[in-house]
Structure 1
Amino acid sequence: MTTRSLHLPVAAQPRVDSLVDLAQLGERHGYDTAWLPETWGRDAVTVLTSIARETDTIELGPSVVNVYSRSPALLGQTATTLQEVADGRLRMGIAPSGPAVIEGWHGLEFDRPLRRTREYIEIMRAVMSGETVHYDGDIFSLSGFRLRCDPPAEPVPIDAAGMGPKSVELAGRFADGWHAILFTPEGFRNRLEDFRRGVDLGDRDRDDLRVTLSVTACALEDGDRARELARQHLAFYVGAMGTYYRESLSRQGYEDEALEIATAWANGNHDEAIACIPEALLDDLAAVGTPERARKELAKFESLEGVDDLSIGFPRGASSDDIETTLEGLSPDT
């Protein structure tokens, strides 16, 4: 059975307590997990700690923290500590992010993202085992240290996000799950084949792994406004966040549209970029409109074979009221 989770807003909220309130609301409405993005706003660790203290049953995790701005050993320590604070409810999501954030914000070279992700997974697991870590990789070499506290009583699953064939294969081969973001139903099916190939290469049991699909959602009585908010959101990601989202959209059969969006955005024509998203593409990527329409579109994603957890996210421009209305209108209890 597919669980339904909550992808907390990527846009800045008024205060940390606003995110805590949304996680509590999600818990009351039966959402399985509260996923927290980390970009260039509040850090995920502090916010997740606050959420863990104020919730009881909902699972928690970042989706995602990048594999550049913190060392792999530190992320292992962080996961250990958050698991203790959350009473065993933590699930980590990691990924390379992209050059726009890693180079433009963190000032680091975006080097060997796939290899780096694999080594992070391996080192984090070694750290959280509680044993002395001896690791000799292509990027990292560690030796002679172990946790000074008890290892997690409950192992912390480590998921990897990915959009391209090799990154998704890596998730299936080495991680405990895959986070899929900005996929059409057909695009998801294609990448699921890469995930399954990774599972086979790693001699893994598919039943032990979790696939989380994040879908942008907005369910408002003013359905036209909900769709316009989603258009703005998608245009920003394709146009402003480097090449990864554009390339992913191109692989999914929307090469011309992706190029038009990116070109218009790069030229400063943001309204034109938004207008480049046709109705069919919007429905292929999101669940937006009136509550009735949004629920119908969401069911299309939830019924996809291979989805274990469907996570609803929100447009960047959505207000607090828009987010709460959507969260309640699309909740598992509805």
Structure 2
Amino acid sequence: MADDLKLGLNLGYWQRHADDATETVLAAERLGYDSVWTAEAYGSDAFTPLAWYGARTSRIKLGTSVAQLSARTPAATAMTAMTLDHLTGGRLLLGVGASGPQVVEGWYGVPFPKPLARTREYVEIMKRIWRREEPVTSDGEHYPLPYPGGAGLGKPLKLITHPLRPEIPLYLGAEGPRNVALAAEIADGWLPLFVFPEKIERMYGESLAAAGPGFDIAAMVHVIVTDDVAQAIDIVKMTLTLYIGGMGAKSRNFHADIIGRMGYADAAAKIQELYLAGRRDEAFRAIPDELADGISLVGPIERIRERLALWRDSPVTSLLAMGPRDEPTLRALRDAVHG
């Protein structure tokens, strides 16, 4: 239970057009938001916008939610994170995630199997790089260092630059119980995409048992401030339609799985069936309103303020708002969370 939720802003990744959110980020910093986060899939990358915003701000923390493991080697991510952390005075929050096989194999061109083992190995290598205790080696299956074979001339190396912080805060984007348990074991925080605050304890209580003091559960939450609750719920349902129906294969869709664990397995199966059959309007209508409402904060600010009690009573410690861009809305949300 979090009496004082931290409030962040999640900008996600660029959609169709390049989206410079500098004015939004500056407003969030003025209003005392704790953090701003960017993402990547197969469009804009997560780090470049943070460097851009970091150069224009002085206090707000800068998070990746998430940087794709398969987009870079562990050493490349560790170097990028160290550099950005230095340039922004120690403000980076590094969120990483394994994504899914469609993106990993279809876009990045690398194999997806064993995501938990790959994540563990990846994180351990980054931590060794930042600590600079010795030249980095790894005998892991996925990222062996030095590389076995090739020219046969690889040698263990140590990071040239001394990191500003030898322990950059690490978050894992995770949905499955075992992946959440891994976050609790090896990371400083967890970045869940869909959270039903009343159900998170039942769904992940055992997975979070190993989390240490200060472990940050930073939930990404759709926030829509409007007098038209039904319309706002429909906007959330449009996102759910895509994620449940199309962000994965019929045989393997992690987003559909999490909706099932929330208690909507039959609905998730129906939504996916309709979506993959090209009946997207029907898939949209098959999403229960209570599901879309339960994982979001929508409606007049008074309604949002009331529903925030559910989040305060949950294990969530940070709200990463997805949606608000104008200063009046950002201020209203801040006042609802901290007022």
- Report if TM-score (shorter chain) is over 0.5: yes
Aligned-residue CA RMSD (Å): 1.9
2:332 aligned partner:
329
Q: Identity over the aligned pairs, expressed in percent?
A: 33
1:72 to 1:154, Cα distance in 2 relative to 1, 3 A = closer
Q: Contact 2:104–2:110 (CA<8 Å) still a contact in 1?
A: yes
How far apart are residue 94 of structure 1 and its match?
Answer: 0.7
Q: Contact 2:14–2:44 (CA<8 Å) still a contact in 1?
A: no
How far apart are residue 43 of structure 1 and its match?
Answer: 0.9
SS at match of 2:116: helix
How far apart are residue 328 of structure 1 and its match?
Answer: 3.6
How far apart are residue 279 of structure 1 and its match?
Answer: 2.0
How far apart are residue 326 of structure 1 and its match?
Answer: 4.3
Paired residue for 1:99, among 79, 98, 101?
101
1:126 aligned partner:
128
CA deviation vs aligned residue, 1:231-269 (integer Å, no higher than 9, x gap): 111111111111000011101111011112111111112
- C-alpha distance in 2 between matches for 1:9 and 1:140: 28
Structure 2: which 5+ runs fail to align?
Answer: 147-155
Q: Contact 1:302–1:310 (CA<8 Å) still a contact in 2?
A: no
Paired residue for 2:47, among 31, 45, 48?
45
How far apart are residue 9 of structure 1 and its match?
Answer: 3.6
Q: Contact 1:186–1:252 (CA<8 Å) still a contact in 2?
A: no
Q: Contact 1:230–1:288 (CA<8 Å) still a contact in 2?
A: no
1:198 aligns with 2:198: no
Q: Contact 1:130–1:147 (CA<8 Å) still a contact in 2?
A: yes
Q: Contact 1:2–1:302 (CA<8 Å) still a contact in 2?
A: yes
1:6 aligns with 2:15: no
SS at match of 1:181: coil
Larger deviation, residues 146-155 vs 225-234: 146-155
1:116 aligned partner:
118
- C-alpha distance in 2 between matches for 1:291 and 1:208: 29
SS at match of 2:161: coil
1:15 to 1:165, Cα distance in 2 relative to 1, 3 A = same
- C-alpha distance in 1 between matches for 2:199 and 2:31: 30
1:83 aligned partner:
85
- C-alpha distance in 1 between matches for 2:267 and 2:310: 22
- C-alpha distance in 2 between matches for 1:281 and 1:212: 20
- C-alpha distance in 1 between matches for 2:305 and 2:81: 34
Paired residue for 1:20, among 19, 22, 28?
22
1:270 aligned partner:
280
1:135 to 1:173, Cα distance in 2 relative to 1, 3 A = same
- C-alpha distance in 2 between matches for 1:301 and 1:333: 13
1:260 to 1:326, Cα distance in 2 relative to 1, 3 A = farther
- C-alpha distance in 1 between matches for 2:143 and 2:17: 38
How far apart are residue 109 of structure 1 and its match?
Answer: 1.7
- The number of residue pairs the alignment matches comes to 319
- C-alpha distance in 2 between matches for 1:246 and 1:197: 25
Paired residue for 1:61, among 57, 60, 63?
63
- C-alpha distance in 2 between matches for 1:110 and 1:279: 34
Larger deviation, residues 25-34 vs 46-55: 25-34
- The one-letter code of the counterpart of 1:114 is L
- C-alpha distance in 1 between matches for 2:40 and 2:311: 24
How far apart are residue 156 of structure 1 and its match?
Answer: 0.6
1:230 to 1:49, Cα distance in 2 relative to 1, 3 A = same
1:50 to 1:13, Cα distance in 2 relative to 1, 3 A = farther
1:155 aligns with 2:157: no
1:312 aligns with 2:312: no
Q: Which runs of 4+ in 1 moved over 6 A?
A: none
Q: Highest Rg: 1 or 2?
A: 2
CA deviation vs aligned residue, 1:274-329 (integer Å, no higher than 9, x gap): 1112221122211112333233333422331x222121123xxxxxxx64264343
- C-alpha distance in 2 between matches for 1:133 and 1:85: 24
Matches for 1:293-312 after TM superposition, within 5 Å = 293-304=303-314, 306-312=315-321
SS at match of 2:109: coil
2:240 aligned partner:
234
How far apart are residue 33 of structure 1 and its match?
Answer: 0.9
Matches for 1:273-292 after TM superposition, within 5 Å = 273-292=283-302
2:158 aligned partner:
146
- C-alpha distance in 1 between matches for 2:279 and 2:200: 30
Structure 1: which 5+ runs fail to align?
Answer: 200-205, 315-321
Larger deviation, residues 276-285 vs 69-78: 276-285
Name the TM-score, length of structure 1 as normaliser. Answer: 0.89
- C-alpha distance in 2 between matches for 1:67 and 1:215: 23
- The one-letter code of the counterpart of 1:279 is D
1:261 to 1:329, Cα distance in 2 relative to 1, 3 A = farther
